[in-house]
Chain A
Amino acid sequence: MKTIHRITRLLFHFGLCLYPVDFRKRYATEITRVFEEGLADAVTAGLGPTLGYGAKTVADLCASALRERLRCVGPRDGLVVFVAVICGHLAVCIDFLATEVQATLLVLLLSGFLVGTVASRPGWRWALLIAVWLPLLHVALFAFALVHSGAVEGFSRHPYLSRLLLLLPALVASLVGLYLAVLMRFVGRRLAGQSRRQS
């Protein structure tokens, strides 16, 4: 029971990091207190209620953190999200159509660069938003195809989870493109500053 208690608390405290900073500063203490009170009640009720409470609370935390994050998205960030999602889907299309992996990596690299020219900090989240569609859509389309062909039992035999590893090369390619753009922006600003000082 103590282990479950500890794991639930650990997951909860990790979940708190998902909130935007302002929200976390304002409410983290209160949210933690409410969580601890609920957990204490659940622990006295037994193992089942404790597990149920832990799972529900962590799920609620993730969902509400996403809601709070979306509330903080400004019009510019909204546009960047839109472009990143479109670029991610484009990379998936290229991956299905092209015979060589280089084409997909090039699209991811260019997508990262495009988003990096306008994206706000931290850049890695935009790279993740571009890259995440490749493994997700691979697994989703594979599952969809199996269900429609009626060979659902093949899903358990096929190593489809290995497709999730596609995230790694996709992320590397989009990160390289994105930080290349960030570097170019930085150098451009420095050069512009120098030329202003000289004039």
Chain B
Amino acid sequence: MTNAASSAPPDPFTLLPLTPAVFGILMALADGEKHGYAIMQAVAAETAGGLRMGPGTLYGTLDRMLRAALVSESEGPGEAAPHRERRRYYRLTDYGRRVLRAEIDRLQQVINLARRKKLILRPQPVTQ
């Protein structure tokens, strides 16, 4: 990922394929802004526990995503308790959403190819 803060962001396709951590964070933030622990919980829940990031990996990945302008820091809801320092919230940028869509399209193509080769016998039911 390159530093995109000072210039126009690169073509989303140049960032593909995304790492599981980046993809998981982008998916978690697609619902709206979240703080670090909420992102960790959302990623673990959405992958059914398949991807559990530690705090170090989470913030290392977020740092790279901030530099690549995939996410940005936001104010968050104004519920901060007075005795605690304000949390950092993160939200998806427009560019981040484009990159996420490009990755989903790429994965969709892989799924279509697998279907054509009869590696996937029937569509899997979506479970919540």
A residues bordering B, Cβ < 8 Å? Answer: 15, 19, 23, 26-27, 29-31, 33-35, 37-38, 56-57, 59-61, 63-65, 67-68
Contact = CB atoms under 8 A, between A and B. Distances in A.
B54 A23 contact: no
B87 A30 contact: yes
A34 B58 contact: yes
Main secondary structure of the interface of A (DSSP, over half): helix
B37 interface: yes
17 contacts: A27-B59, A27-B63, A29-B85, A30-B36, A30-B87, A31-B56, A34-B58, A34-B59, A35-B55, A38-B55, A56-B54, A57-B56, A59-B54, A60-B55, A60-B57, A63-B56, A65-B56
B101 interface: no
Interface of B: 36-37, 40, 52-60, 63, 85, 87-88
A64 B88 contact: no
A60 B37 contact: no
Given A19-B56, A38-B40, A64-B56, 4 more contacts: A31-B55, A38-B37, A60-B55, A65-B56
Contacts of A33: 36-37, 87
A30 B54 contact: no
B39 to A, nearest CB: 9
Contacts of B59: 27, 30-31, 34, 64
A38 to B, nearest CB: 7
A63 B54 CA distance: 10
Contacts of B36: 30-31, 33-34
Contacts of B37: 33-34, 37-38
B60 A67 contact: yes
Contacts of B85: 29
A12 to B, nearest CB: 9
A34 B60 contact: no
Nearest to A68: B60
Contacts of A23: 60, 63
Contacts of A19: 56
B67 to A, nearest CB: 10
A65 B87 CA distance: 22
Contact of A60 (B56, B63, B88): B56
Most A CB contacts (10 A, CB to CB) among B58, B59, B87 go to B59
A39 B56 CA distance: 14
A31 B36 CA distance: 8
Nearest to A67: B60
A59 B56 CA distance: 10
A193 B54 CA distance: 50
A34 B40 contact: yes
